[in-house]
Amino acid sequence: MKYAYFPGCVISQRENSFELSTRKVISKLGIELIDLEGASCCGFLLGAIDHLSSTVMAARNLTLAEENGYNMLTLCPACSGHFTRVERELQKDSKLLNAVNKALGEVNRKYKGSSEVKHITKIFIEDVGVEKLRETVIKPLKQLRVAPHWGCHIVKPSEEILFDSPENTRLLDSLIEATGAECVKYLEKNTCCGAPTMGVDENLAIRVVRENLKSIEESGSDLIVTVCPFCHLHYDLYRGRIEEQYSEKYEMPVLHYTQLLGLAQGFDPDELGVYENRVAVDDVLEKIYA
Amino acid sequence: MNSLFKWLIRNKKHLILLLTLALRVIILKEKSTMISNQESVINIDELESEFTEGVVKAGSEKLKICFQCGVCSGSCPIARFEEAFNPRKIMIATALGIPDRVLKGNTIWLCATCYSCQERCPRDVQPADVIRTIRNLAVRRGITNPYFQTICGTIVNHGRLFNEEEAEFFNEVRADMGLPPIPFLDLEEVTKVFQHTNVKKLLTVEDGEK
């Protein structure tokens, strides 16, 4: 299985460990990545000031994958979600499609709509299959209790994304269970992490993530597992800010799903960038290697 | 005074009437403060139908059938902690055409775009997309937010959330980790596309300065 790899800004900027662990785990699943030369930002955030520019930017990236002939794989649900929504909108709205192709005409490109975009977890579920994933596990993580955090854009809005059920998410649980770990239930399982408001109102964004962390801690889990670089960053990076604002200490570590899978596949923590995480994961590793 | 008191005791009807009147005055006074608190009085001069039409034309026709059930606000992770952000109120103020109430402060910029409201809205109003459209219209009125200006400035001018100098630094980090460099981006191509959509005129920040 070959995919065009769309890097996404936050991954190459601050979450390289997600990409590193992905490249490791897919080598065991028969997935090969072709780096998408010419890729820019997906355009999602630009939607705040101009919807057309944000759509054109996504469409330009999609033409790169069309040229390249492979379906696109992303690690960031904001990217995959935006691409999918743009694809659906361009299918329905011929006026917008014309406007997009007019802009792309300036650089001799044309959006055809022939490529599909999938988040890595969607590829695990739909193209690889949980069973095959389980077969690559050589070190089942039976000792671990995990709080799964899907995030928002991976499943919502569901009528366009068509993946899992946002009100009753199950698929990340099944991916985690494939590693041998146990999933816990917690109140804020499907709540936004708060990251998107960080730039506008820091205190508010911290308030949201603190509430989620409280609920995760009550669940008695050993760690949080995320599939979104924004969620990971927001859970991982701002513990000091929470402590400052609320005088509460949360030590719950956060791993990318691919890091968890990699550990179960027998990779060294170092090979998966596990030590790049800001919140110490020592307790988790101790439990695994005990 | 004493005789008045005695007279009132004797004529109980008058006493009750007097007490009821006093109670009424108190209730009315309470009510008037409640009204001004909730801003439920709409001044006709505030109404601006172009604002509503602008949002509807941009694809949010269903805004007009919002029946104010409040599922959006009840589902919103931001409204839960921040009174200033209330999607239900944003919907009604936009449907009625009262831009001042929507565009004041940083209200519309607080939306996390988590799509919880969009997922649950029983009228399919798509509140998150309505808010995106309102942001687009706000920027065209010169009302904007420094954070979004900065990141959009960087995206428009550098094609990504970081500039070329930062990319070099990130590539060094990536090389140390054994990762390939960030793919090459022909910035001229991105610039040409954005010249066509004329997005630069919406930026108040020169070069996405931080």
> Within chain B, which residue ranges are assigned CATH 1.10.1060.10?
44-140
Q: What share of chain A in percent tops pLDDT 70?
A: 100
Does the structure show a pLDDT above 90 at B34?
A: no
- Contacts B112 to A, Cβ<8 Å: 152, 192, 194-197
In the chain, the amino acid numbered A287 is: K
Among A115-119, B28-32, B34-38, B66-70, the least confident range? B34-38
Of A12, A166, A199, the CB nearest to B147: A199
Does the structure show a pLDDT above 60 at B37?
A: no
**Residue A115: predicted pLDDT:** 87
Of B115, B133, B183, the CB nearest to A157: B115
Best mutation target, A54, A197, A212, A270, to test chain B (most B CBs within 10 A): A197
Of A43, A45, A196, the CB nearest to B112: A196
**B37 vs chain A: nearest CA distance in angstroms?**
24
Residue in B159, B136, B145 with CA at minimum distance from that of residue B205: B145
Q: How many contacts does A have with B, using Cβ atoms within 8 A?
A: 167
Are B152 and A46 inside 8 Å of each other by CB?
yes
- Contacts A157 to B, Cβ<8 Å: 115, 118-119, 126, 128
- Contacts A106 to B, Cβ<8 Å: 192-193, 195-196
**B118 vs chain A: nearest CA distance in angstroms?**
7
**A226 vs chain B: nearest CA distance in angstroms?**
16
3-state secondary structure of A74: strand
Q: What share of chain B in percent tops pLDDT 90?
A: 73
ipTM value for the complex: 0.96
Residue of chain A whose alpha carbon sits nearest to that of B114? A152
- DSSP symbol at A154: T
The pLDDT tens digits for A6-42 are 999 999 999 999 999 999 999 999 999 999 999 999 9
| The dihedral formed by the CA atoms of A251, A256, A259 and A265, expressed in degrees to the nearest 10 | 120
**Residue B32: predicted pLDDT:** 55
The structure tokens 């919103």 sit at B76
Best mutation target, A14, A46, A49, to test chain B (most B CBs within 10 A): A49
Question: Which fold, B44-140?
Answer: Fumarate Reductase Iron-sulfur Protein; Chain B, domain 2 (1.10.1060)
Task: Write the Ramachandran bin of A227: left for phi over 0, alpha for psi from -120 to 50, otherwise beta.
Answer: alpha
Residue of chain A whose alpha carbon sits nearest to that of B204? A49
| Mean pLDDT on A168-182 | 98
Does the structure show a pLDDT above 80 at A184?
A: yes
Are B113 and A196 inside 8 Å of each other by CB?
yes
Does the structure show a pLDDT above 90 at A137?
A: yes
The pLDDT tens digits for B124-155 are 999 999 999 999 999 999 999 999 999 999 99
pTM of the model: 0.91
Residue in A242, A252, A249, A243 with CA at minimum distance from that of residue A280: A252
- Contacts B128 to A, Cβ<8 Å: 157
Are B159 and A40 inside 8 Å of each other by CB?
yes
The pLDDT tens digits for A201-259 are 999 999 999 999 999 999 999 999 999 999 999 999 999 999 999 999 999 999 999 99
Of B118, B156, B197, the CB nearest to A156: B118
Does the structure show a pLDDT above 90 at B207?
A: no
Whole-number mean pLDDT of chain B?
89
Are B170 and A191 inside 8 Å of each other by CB?
no
Give residue limits of the domains in chain A: 2-120, 137-289
Query: In which band, very low, low, confident or very high, does the pLDDT at A274 lie, cut at 50, 70 and 90?
Result: very high
Best mutation target, B160, B163, B170, to test chain A (most A CBs within 10 A): B160
CA distance B194 to B191: 5
- DSSP symbol at B184: P
- Contacts B77 to A, Cβ<8 Å: 191-192, 194, 208
* Domain A2-120: assigned CATH number: 1.20.1050.140
The pLDDT tens digits for B192-202 are 999 999 999 99
| The dihedral formed by the CA atoms of A258, A271, A78 and A63, expressed in degrees to the nearest 10 | -110
The pLDDT tens digits for B78-100 are 999 999 999 999 999 999 999 99
CB atoms within 10 A of CB A29: 19
Of B119, B151, B166, the CB nearest to A166: B119
**Residue A97: predicted pLDDT:** 98
Query: In which band, very low, low, confident or very high, does the pLDDT at A44 lie, cut at 50, 70 and 90?
Result: very high
Domain A137-289 matching CATH 3.40.50.11810: the answer reads yes
In the chain, the amino acid numbered A140 is: P
CA distance B58 to B133: 7
Residue in A192, A144, A147, A130 with CA at minimum distance from that of residue A166: A192
